[in-house]
Structure 1
Amino acid sequence: MNLSSLLLERAALGRPVRVGLIGAGKFGSMILSQAQRIDGLHMVAITDLSVSSARESCGRVGWPEELYSARSAGEAVTSGKTFITDDVHAMLSCPEIDCVIEATGHPLAGTRHALACIEYGKHVVMVNVEADVMVGPILAAKAREKGLIYSMAYGDQPALICELVDWVRACGFELTAAGKGMNFEPRYRYSTPDTVWGLFGWSEEDVARDKLNPKLYNSFTDGTKAAIEMAAVANGTGLDCPENGLAFPPAGLHDLARVFRPRSDGGRLDSPGLVDIAASQEPDGREVANNIRYGVFVTFKAHSEYARNCFRQYGLLTDPSGWYASMWRPFHLIGLEASISVLSAVLRGEPTGSSKEFRGDAVATAKKDMQVGEMLDGEGGYAVWANAIPARRSLALRALPIGLAHHVRLKRAIRKDQIVSYDDVDLVDDDDVVALRREMEDRFRPQSAVAAE
């Protein structure tokens, strides 16, 4: 809880924390809105495919134009201004930059950017959960081998869940489950970019004002983003994904400890130690009272009668038995909080959550019956949704990770709700990312999968 003090001490020595940002979309814009207000943090460079769009983002969040007028990263370092470019290597070759935030949301580009950051000796804050769930464990390992930090982004839900998990374990409680809230009904699973705004509840004016991407927001609605994030949490915490994917049980704050406990004790979990989602709507569309739609949570168990009594005495929300309790955070502010990860990496040498093992996977699953020759269009599209399953099951099925399910052609017909396998598709391009994924699968293969073979 001393990051701001540590930052001011460093700034007083004339050594601000120097940062680069890749991707000036919604998440990147939120980062930029705060960066100008943090004494001792200097946004040296912003890289985006569209320089003009990045400039628009800076203007939209209140930056004076003079602030982003530097003509090179070197000039930005000496002047205190910001350089905007479409050349990632022009940013990464700046030796003074300490940490880079990858916020493109594109799994293939994000993977390549993270590898380049590590090669250039930069800490990485990986907003790009799409890339992290696909190859995060091996990216984190490569960073560690170079003495660098590879971190989840604080403010995004996976990092906040990892923080709560750490709290449970550091307090000595028995961790039962972890997850987040989400607006979800079973019918949302088959949402497309054409139907998403009606389900999301935003008007045409909202969409136009903020230039919202329907495919991105459809990935939130159809459960894909939830699968990606919960599999990433599994990889960062040692928890497991449910055998057949996330169940999305409806639950409000007062019911978290009752619902997210094992079935043997009256709950909805097949076993303790799982990730899942607390749906904020019932299957018929009724809103759950006191839901946690924007928040994150953990449930945990008392180890003794004494601890159980303390739960009651200090007002924890528990299950009817009093043995299981919950802790939560009611909101997440994504990019508005991401500086915590940057400062933690640079000033403390600690990630705010990081993939340690290959325990969960987010795999492509058909939204409809599809024929040979049809194309998969990736996260949030018309063809597939992502299911969060144990990595050992993914490997046994040769399941196609959702991050590799974009612009690939089917060579076998598949049925609605069928998990797509590598054998069902032609992977033509992206050999480097596919090779890295294969390397991760081999290097981090779960022992249960090895035993099964």
Structure 2
Amino acid sequence: MNLYSLLSQRAGDGRPVRVGLIGAGKFGSMVLAQAQRIAGFHMVAVADLNVGKARESLDRVGWPKERYDASSCGDAVKNGTTFVTASAQDLFDCDEIECIIEATGHPIAGTRHALGAIDSRKHVVMVNVEADVMVGPILAEKARKAGVIYSMAYGDQPALICELVDWARATGFEVTAAGKGMNFEPRYRYSTPDTVWGFFGWTEEEVAKGDFNAKMYNSFTDGTKAAIEMAAVANGTGLDCPDNGLAFPPAGLHDLARVFRPSADGGRMDRTGLVDIAASQEPDGREVFNNIRYGVFVTFKAHNEYARACFKQYGLLTDPSGWYASMWRPFHIIGLETSVSVLSAVLRKEATGCSKEFRGDAVATAKKDMQPGEMLDGEGGYAVWANAIPASRSLNLKALPIGLAHNVKLKRAIKKDQIVSFDDVEIVNDLDVLNLRQEMERSFLPAKVAAE
């Protein structure tokens, strides 16, 4: 509760918190929109392969051009301005930058950027959940050994869910489930970049007027992003993914505690301690009343009659028995809040959520029957969606993480809804990231697999 006070002290001492941003897309633009408003928060450099687009992002969110006309990181540090560059290495080489925000959304590039930042002894705020769910635990371990912080991005749903879980445990409650709201129907599962705009209700003319990425929006629609985020939450909290993947039970605010309790007590969870999604749509398309489409939640259980009575006395929304209750946050505004993670890492040496163990995995799953020679095109594409399953099951299946399912060729036929294995594909690129993933699998072997 003292981040702003700590920052004000640094600013007063003439020592601003110096930051570098990699990726000036939608998330990065939201970060930039707020960075200009925070005294003592100096965005030294912005790196994006498309420098022109990065400059457009700065202009769009209201930065005067003279504020981002620095000729180098050194020039930016000296004059309090910002350097726009195509090279992330420029940020790593700048000794004054204390924290890197990785916001590319690309799992391979994001992994390399995180390693580069850690090797340069800089804190990492990993907006890139796609990379985090693939290799986050080992990146966090490397950061710890280097004496820097590796953190989820506050404002994005995984960090906010981790915060709610931490709150529940720190107050002595048993966490039975945690997750987020989302617009989802079963038919969305097989959406492609060609069909996605229809699910949003947007016309071709409306899409043409905006800066929309069809694959990115499709990954939100087909459940891939949900799987990536919930597996990351599992790795950050010690909760588990359901054995067969996320169930997406429809639930409104008034029903969270009823739905997200164990089936033995009348709920929809196979057991206690799981992550899942509160769908805002019924399977037939009807909108769930009082849904939490933009929110996050945790469901927890009272430990005795006294705590149960307090739930009622203080107006918590509970299940019919009164033993289970839910706490929620109705909205998240992603990049507009990410400075909290930067300041927490730099000023308090604390992560706002961090992958501590390999407990959940987001694995590539076929959208259709496919034959040898066909190519997988990663999250949000035409070929695969991601399923969030326990890491132990993923390892037993030799499942291919969705982050490594980009531009790889099938060497065996697979059926629709089949989890793709490493044995099904030929990987010839990005072997450095593949090796890091394999190192993580060996280093963070789940206890269930180790026992076998």
TM-score bracket, normalised by the shorter chain, equals over 0.9
The within-5 A match list for 1:138-157 is: 138-157=138-157
Q: Give the CA deviation at 1:65.
A: 0.6
Q: Give the CA deviation at 1:206.
A: 4.5
What is the DSSP-based 3-state SS (H/G/I as helix, E as strand, rest coil) of the residue aligned with 1:100?
strand
Letter in 2 for 1:229: E
Letter in 1 for 2:254: H
Letter in 2 for 1:316: L
Distance (Å, rounded) in 1 between the aligned partners of 2:358 and 2:42: 34
Task: Please state if 1:65 is matched with 2:74.
Answer: no
Q: Give the CA deviation at 1:209.
A: 3.9
Q: 1:191 — aligned with what?
A: 191
The within-5 A match list for 1:396-411 is: 396-411=396-411
What is the DSSP-based 3-state SS (H/G/I as helix, E as strand, rest coil) of the residue aligned with 2:229?
helix
Q: Give the CA deviation at 1:303.
A: 0.2
What is the DSSP-based 3-state SS (H/G/I as helix, E as strand, rest coil) of the residue aligned with 1:293?
coil
Distance (Å, rounded) in 2 between the aligned partners of 1:342 and 1:320: 41
Task: Please state if 1:6 is matched with 2:6.
Answer: yes
Q: 1:255 — aligned with what?
A: 255
Deviations 1:61-116 (A, max 9, x none): 11111110000000000101000000111121010001000000000000000000
Distance (Å, rounded) in 1 between the aligned partners of 2:113 and 2:363: 22
Q: 2:378 — aligned with what?
A: 378
Q: Give the CA deviation at 1:450.
A: 1.1
Worse overlay, 244-253 or 84-93? 84-93
Distance (Å, rounded) in 1 between the aligned partners of 2:330 and 2:19: 29
Q: Give the CA deviation at 1:200.
A: 2.0
Distance (Å, rounded) in 2 between the aligned partners of 1:428 and 1:333: 38
Deviations 1:213-239 (A, max 9, x none): 000000000000000000000000000
Task: Please state if 1:339 is matched with 2:339.
Answer: yes
Moved over 6 A (4+): none
Worse overlay, 195-204 or 99-108? 195-204
Task: Please state if 1:233 is matched with 2:233.
Answer: yes
- Gaps in structure 1 of 5+ consecutive residues: none
Letter in 2 for 1:245: G
Distance (Å, rounded) in 2 between the aligned partners of 1:426 and 1:154: 36
Task: Please state if 1:326 is matched with 2:326.
Answer: yes
Distance (Å, rounded) in 2 between the aligned partners of 1:141 and 1:202: 43
TM-score, scaled to structure 2: 0.99
How many percent identity over aligned positions? 78
Distance (Å, rounded) in 2 between the aligned partners of 1:38 and 1:346: 15
The within-5 A match list for 1:390-429 is: 390-429=390-429
Q: 1:442 — aligned with what?
A: 442
Q: Give the CA deviation at 1:40.
A: 0.5
Distance (Å, rounded) in 2 between the aligned partners of 1:205 and 1:243: 42
What is the DSSP-based 3-state SS (H/G/I as helix, E as strand, rest coil) of the residue aligned with 1:362?
strand
Q: Give the CA deviation at 1:201.
A: 2.8
Q: 1:56 — aligned with what?
A: 56
What is the DSSP-based 3-state SS (H/G/I as helix, E as strand, rest coil) of the residue aligned with 2:21?
strand
Distance (Å, rounded) in 2 between the aligned partners of 1:210 and 1:235: 35
Task: Please state if 1:277 is matched with 2:300.
Answer: no
What is the DSSP-based 3-state SS (H/G/I as helix, E as strand, rest coil) of the residue aligned with 2:385?
strand
Q: Give the CA deviation at 1:202.
A: 3.3
Worse overlay, 396-405 or 443-452? 443-452
- Gaps in structure 2 of 5+ consecutive residues: none
Distance (Å, rounded) in 2 between the aligned partners of 1:106 and 1:310: 46
Distance (Å, rounded) in 2 between the aligned partners of 1:450 and 1:349: 33
TM-score, scaled to structure 1: 0.99
Q: Give the CA deviation at 1:203.
A: 4.0
Deviations 1:396-446 (A, max 9, x none): 000000000000000000000000000000001111000000000000000
Q: 1:294 — aligned with what?
A: 294
Distance (Å, rounded) in 1 between the aligned partners of 2:373 and 2:156: 37
Q: 1:19 — aligned with what?
A: 19
Distance (Å, rounded) in 2 between the aligned partners of 1:10 and 1:431: 42
Q: Give the CA deviation at 1:338.
A: 0.4
Q: 1:201 — aligned with what?
A: 201
Distance (Å, rounded) in 1 between the aligned partners of 2:404 and 2:213: 20
Deviations 1:331-386 (A, max 9, x none): 11010000000000000000000000000000000000000000000000000000
Q: 1:388 — aligned with what?
A: 388
What is the DSSP-based 3-state SS (H/G/I as helix, E as strand, rest coil) of the residue aligned with 1:6?
helix
What is the DSSP-based 3-state SS (H/G/I as helix, E as strand, rest coil) of the residue aligned with 1:43?
strand
Q: Give the CA deviation at 1:210.
A: 3.5
Q: 1:40 — aligned with what?
A: 40
Distance (Å, rounded) in 1 between the aligned partners of 2:119 and 2:372: 40
Q: Give the CA deviation at 1:327.
A: 0.3
Distance (Å, rounded) in 1 between the aligned partners of 2:412 and 2:236: 34
Distance (Å, rounded) in 1 between the aligned partners of 2:175 and 2:215: 35
Distance (Å, rounded) in 2 between the aligned partners of 1:431 and 1:193: 28
Q: How many residues align?
A: 452
Distance (Å, rounded) in 2 between the aligned partners of 1:91 and 1:70: 13
Q: Give the CA deviation at 1:2.
A: 1.0
Task: Please state if 1:95 is matched with 2:101.
Answer: no
Q: Give the CA deviation at 1:451.
A: 1.1
Distance (Å, rounded) in 2 between the aligned partners of 1:84 and 1:404: 29
Letter in 2 for 1:104: T
What is the DSSP-based 3-state SS (H/G/I as helix, E as strand, rest coil) of the residue aligned with 2:70?
coil
Distance (Å, rounded) in 2 between the aligned partners of 1:206 and 1:356: 42
